[in-house]
Amino acid sequence: MSQPANSSAEVHAFPRRHGFNAFEQAKQELAAFKFSLFETVAADPLLRAGQCLNLIIVYASLVTIDKKTLQATPAYASNGRVFVRAGVRSHHTAVKARRLLEQHGYLIPVSRRNGITVYRIENPHHERVQMQIQELEECQREIKTEKMYAISRNPAWQIMPTLTVQGWQKMPTLKIVRMAIIAHQGWQKVPTKVGRKCHQLP
User: Residues 6 or more apart from 21 whose CB is under 8 A from it?
Assistant: none
Q: Looking at the predicted structure, is the pLDDT value of residue 96 above 60?
A: yes
Q: Enter the pTM of the model.
A: 0.62
Q: Looking at the predicted structure, is the pLDDT value of residue 92 above 70?
A: yes
Average the pLDDT over each of 11-15, 32-36, 72-76, 123-127 and give the range with the smallest value. 11-15
pLDDT value, residue 169: 54
| DSSP secondary structure, 74-93, as one string | PB---HHHHHHHHT-S-HHH
Q: Render pLDDT for 136-158 as a digit per residue (tens, 0 to 9).
A: 888 888 887 877 777 667 655 55
User: Residues 6 or more apart from 22 whose CB is under 8 A from it?
Assistant: 70
Give 25's pLDDT tier (boundaries 50, 70, 90): very high
Task: Report which of 122, 126, 132, 131 is spatially closest to residue 10, judged by C-alpha positions.
Answer: 126
pLDDT value, residue 66: 94
Neighbouring-strand partners of residue 108? 120
